[in-house]
Structure 1
């Protein structure tokens, strides 16, 4: 019996599919083993120096990390193996550590030699006292500085983690998709072989395969051109549509909604206002008392980044979107180094060099000169949240103009926004007078003159 050509293709497909399954299973098993080993290493971290290094890491981050790092000098000295170093170099025991951490100022005042040495070395700035830390807590912190627990190993970077952050196991979606594409390709090839074989059999038996003749039809464009009513209706429709879109385009001139420039130093509102819950007016402090919200000076940034010299990531881990855009820990750390260069900060010596370089920020929100807007009137007096105009900034990786900032948009807000008259004798009196004369139930900005031209144009 003569072999059918496409049987070989079926055998090849099943062979390839079996190999893919085998490789995927081995890869998944190795990945699960790596994750399990990392979890075991973290859970079984050895306790050193009479303390728990895992608990000590949490205490260190909460109380010490603002001024100290393990392997580098910051506001205070590096703390890696601090207990062993002080015992070997200065002959200080753990009781001295307890006393120093709980009441450093008292140690300095008592005339302790090493306490005063540290005090003089670090610009006569006494360390913050931590009287609430117990001896056990301090033991845990010292255990962490002596032998910090290993960081949990990450899964293989090529495998995407699910939304919950748990490691994946089994066959990934990419492998399944690849297998389906392979199956589809083999099916197409099999159909082509079957079609070719059937045609050969038909020709061998004297069967003539005729192609259906297409009927000659009038081209669509010619039929359309011959119908005068359809031509007239289409012309009118195109003219009206063109006028509509031309008007819409002209009305967008000067409207920069969605404008999202790239800044010289990447600043993530998502990390600062979202993850770290930094209040908007901490950085834009002039919005409370001034017409302008102001661009924060780099010294405001250094209030935190004098101690935060690297980005260690969100505890929940980076999202697939962040990884796709290159927003890794290394990326954010490099941006902090740009800040140091601009402000003239020497990381190693923990001092300003005086060699600063201004940052040319790109303005995003820009009203025309003929329009007057006062931030303090809206933020302090009216109590309007920043997100009302600027959108969900706590979710923005790159800041953009959320609102259109057009005159119509402002007027609608004045018409719809009710003024809070509680505990304000001035507005209560106006509301009472308007209620008696016009019977108004609420007091809006428009009723206070918010629609007068001179309020915004001068």
Structure 2
């Protein structure tokens, strides 16, 4: 927020943080992580703006509240400290925040409570070296099903081989034992000496029927797998035109998903971030990076960055992000997997109709404090002893997703 590392002015420092209760600090923590962590640390590290350690000791609460709410207005008013901060950090304009006074005080209290805690540096992260659009995969994401089937087939073959070898050994041992006995008749001795005619076994009708049935079953199984797999791209992880690491941004730097995907909580679709969102940070940091230079070139040429879509539902299915994330409270990881650990984003879930229906059949609805559900819950409790789940509210009806 552009307030650290500046010589204190005449204003008294803010007396915040020390006496704040845990609830206020938690509220400030949420505000900071959702709005500030993209550009600031609560330590001494400079990200885009300065580190905010002990900022409450260097600035008065009133000054901090004005700066956070509208830094541009404070600069234009001629405040010497605001102008100094603005000039020191390359005249990078900080966004304005429509926070209430209570929210601002909670934010300052959180920064004060965190100031004494040790800070850790984020580890650097590199990008893949493949062509845009190429599926580079992730750590066994999506390939798990195929690998499991392959493993089962290998185990089955090994078991069959062991069984056949065991039978051969047993037959050989038994044959040698019988040969050593002296009380065998001529017919029995001839039977032991007889060699197995595999040609006759293969030509037998029973064996041919069994082999034919096995072939048909395998062919049908492969055909069903191929047909049922049409449109399923679990594990698809294309190489993007810019090597963006979710592990670095969402994991190491803990940037909230909503900062880049701004419509994920308020729209049916989760938008792809525009270049100006990237430039909020990268106009100041890693400007010389070859990957960041691609953003500069896109802006200079007035051409969009051609990101490769990873998750894509068929047109016949309707899905609303805000209904799930805002109303339903579904976490991003529920569908997208551990996105904060992915160097390259992959489709984690199958996104099939059966997968969605299973979720609707097992996910309870949070109806607390929502009068819309009162009568529905009462009717449900009369007819069923189970929890009020998404399916109880029509979540498995065809028209919910297909209309």
| TM-score normalised over the length of structure 1 | 0.47
Structure 2 CA distance, aligned partners of 1:275 and 1:379? Answer: 23
Number of positions where the alignment pairs a residue of Structure 1 with one of Structure 2: 250
Any unmatched runs of 5+ in structure 2? Answer: 1-40, 51-57, 68-73, 95-192
1:454 match: secondary structure:
helix
What's the offset of the Cα at 1:120? 11
- 8 Å contact 2:49–2:89 — kept in the other structure? no
Structure 2 CA distance, aligned partners of 1:417 and 1:216? Answer: 67
- Is 1:422 aligned to 2:368, yes or no? yes
Structure 1 CA distance, aligned partners of 2:88 and 2:48? Answer: 20
- 8 Å contact 1:224–1:231 — kept in the other structure? no
Post-superposition Cα deviations, 1:164-214, rounded to whole Å, max 9, x if no partner, equal: xxxxxxxxxxxxxxxxxxxxxxxxxxxxxxxxxxxxxxxxxxxxxxxxxxx
Q: 1:124 to 1:292 in 2, by over 3 A?
A: closer
- Is 1:381 aligned to 2:327, yes or no? yes
Aligned equivalent of 1:340: 296
- Is 1:295 aligned to 2:249, yes or no? no
Structure 2 CA distance, aligned partners of 1:292 and 1:66? Answer: 29
Post-superposition Cα deviations, 1:333-354, rounded to whole Å, max 9, x if no partner, equal: 321222222223xxxxxxxxxx
Task: Pick the aligned partner of 1:307 from 275, 284, 297.
Answer: 284
Q: 1:295 to 1:121 in 2, by over 3 A?
A: closer
Aligned equivalent of 1:175: none
- Is 1:233 aligned to 2:179, yes or no? no
- 8 Å contact 1:119–1:125 — kept in the other structure? no
Aligned equivalent of 2:302: 356
Aligned equivalent of 1:456: 401
Q: 1:63 to 1:399 in 2, by over 3 A?
A: closer
Structure 2 CA distance, aligned partners of 1:223 and 1:379? Answer: 67
The within-5 A match list for 1:173-192 is: none
Tell me which structure has the larger Cα radius of gyration.
Answer: 1
- Is 1:395 aligned to 2:341, yes or no? yes
The within-5 A match list for 1:193-232 is: 222-232=199-209
Structure 2 CA distance, aligned partners of 1:241 and 1:124? Answer: 64
The within-5 A match list for 1:19-58 is: none
Aligned equivalent of 1:15: none
The within-5 A match list for 1:308-327 is: 308-309=285-286
Post-superposition Cα deviations, 1:378-418, rounded to whole Å, max 9, x if no partner, equal: 11100000111111111111111111111111111111111
Aligned structure 1 segments of 4 or more residues deviating by more than 6 angstroms: 102-106, 215-219
Structure 2 CA distance, aligned partners of 1:124 and 1:452? Answer: 51
What's the offset of the Cα at 1:357? 2.6
What's the offset of the Cα at 1:226? 3.1
Structure 1 CA distance, aligned partners of 2:335 and 2:392? Answer: 21
Q: 1:258 to 1:63 in 2, by over 3 A?
A: closer
- Is 1:434 aligned to 2:390, yes or no? no
Aligned equivalent of 1:445: 390
What's the offset of the Cα at 1:63? 5.0
What's the offset of the Cα at 1:230? 2.0
Structure 1 CA distance, aligned partners of 2:80 and 2:337? Answer: 56
Aligned equivalent of 2:231: 254
Structure 1 CA distance, aligned partners of 2:247 and 2:79? Answer: 47
Q: 1:267 to 1:119 in 2, by over 3 A?
A: closer
Aligned equivalent of 1:283: 260
Structure 2 CA distance, aligned partners of 1:391 and 1:301? Answer: 23
What's the offset of the Cα at 1:125? 6.9
1:418 match: secondary structure:
coil
Q: 1:67 to 1:277 in 2, by over 3 A?
A: closer
Structure 1 CA distance, aligned partners of 2:331 and 2:92? Answer: 42
| Root-mean-square deviation over aligned CA pairs | 4.1
Structure 2 CA distance, aligned partners of 1:338 and 1:278? Answer: 21
Q: 1:111 to 1:305 in 2, by over 3 A?
A: closer
What's the offset of the Cα at 1:236? 1.0
Aligned equivalent of 2:352: 406
